[in-house]
Amino acid sequence: MTDPIRLDTGGGLRLTNHPAERMVVCVDGGQGSEVPGTWSSTLEWLVGHLVPRFPTLGFAEVRYRIKSWRALDDCIDDARAAIAAAGGSRTLLLGFSMGGAVAISAADDPRVTRVLGLAPWIPDRLDLAPLEGKRLDVLHGSFDRRLPGVPGVSASLSRRGFERARALGVPGSYTLIRGAVHGTSLRLPGGLLAPLPRAKAWTRLVAAQLEAFTG
């Protein structure tokens, strides 16, 4: 992993296995309040476990300037800047939670061929036109839901968004992970990552999608 670089937008980017012809650009979730962006524990967990299995793939983790759905346009701009900075000829956008909406919105970049949503937030008002000519795959935990004080995205919301994409002719797949919650891990004090239930299942299913991307 290289030292983080600053994007032209003011966001941050961490690169692993770079440069590479095929890049996986990872975009995080967000929240209601407008707070400075941080590195995603879920995406960091996945990248750490997947890099050894995919030595020819480059991985790029994005840190937003502000990680909030109230600043969604800025998050999308950060994702676009990351795609350009990563420099691959083919890109898979991997979006966790709010990152699902960010990835879909940035998918009209000609370098993007696939979007993989992990518990993706796909609000009914989100324009899905950027997915034209791309592929959308979705993984979602069966126990994921928003509770008081606990972040989450209902699987019914991502399913509805996926079906809207299918109606537009976008190919893809939808997989519900039994027993999984929102994400793969939590960051403990000191920076260590603690896996959440079914973290290995998330990793296995994401790996299968990356196999298809490299094939």
Tens of pLDDT along 85-126? 999 999 999 999 999 999 999 999 999 999 999 999 999 999
Question: Coil, helix or strand for 9?
Answer: coil
- Over residues 178-199, the pLDDT tens digits come to 999 999 999 999 999 999 999 9
Rounded Cα distance, 199 and 75, in Å: 26
Q: How far is CA 111 from CA 38, 40, 82, 125, 147, in A?
A: 26, 24, 12, 25, 37
Rounded Cα distance, 20 and 141, in Å: 31
At 215, the pLDDT band (50, 70, 90 cuts) reads confident
Query: Is domain 5-214 classified as CATH 3.40.50.1820?
Result: yes
Burial 151-170 (b: 16+ CB within 10 A, else e): bbbebebbeebbeebeeeeb
Rounded Cα distance, 201 and 204, in Å: 5
Q: Is there a contact between 174 and 162 (Cβ–Cβ < 8 Å)?
A: yes
Domain ranges of the chain: 5-214
